[in-house]
Amino acid sequence: MKQSITKREKILLFLAALVLIVYLSVQFVIFPAFARYSDLNANLDRLEDERARVEADIAMLPLLRVENAEAYERFTEILEKYPELIVSEDIDVLMTNLVIRQNLNPTMLNISSPRALVMQGEEAGSEIFVLVTVSMSLVGNFNSVQHLVYEVDNINFIRITNLNYSLPSSNVLDDATTSVTFELTFINPVSP
């Protein structure tokens, strides 16, 4: 028994196949392409914004170089006005004497190059301070380290602006190595 498909059934099968092809092409071709287009468009906008920022930074480069040169000249002038405070050997002698006075044994001392710190005041001007970072390792009683910090902080032309220390891993604090990092600021502001 052979059944024949009528013309009406053929048209319905053709329309169903056509709807299926359209649905599959929309689902697996058009939607992913649209999502990729949206992602690429967002990336393009982000890259154009970044490019505009970089171009603005490049345009500011000559001005920043001039400001950097002026700041370097001001800092050089400050260093010339305060040579007795800035010489590393003097800081070395000062810190070593303070450490020995507290019955501590210095095992390492590192002094950074001086750098300027510009503080904006409430008034129109600003003040420039000289910063030096002093890193040291000490062997001795932790209470002596605390006394050392107190003594350094009481020197009238130096302020501790940052202090980090690490205790030994054992619970015994006597004669243990303690690493201490001071960031010292010389309190002789110079108007720029």
Cβ neighbours of residue 131 closer than 8 Å, sequence gap 6 or more? 114, 115, 116, 117, 161, 183, 184, 185, 186
Residue 127 has pLDDT above 70, yes or no: no
Q: What is the pLDDT of residue 145?
A: 79
Say if residue 149's pLDDT is above 50. yes
What CA–CA distance (Å, rounded) separates 159 from 153? 6
Backbone angles phi, psi at 165, to 5 degrees: -145, 155
pTM, rounded to two decimals: 0.43
For residue 95, the SS3 value is helix
pLDDT above 60: residue 156: yes
pLDDT given at position 124: 46
Inform me whether the pLDDT recorded for 53 exceeds 80: yes
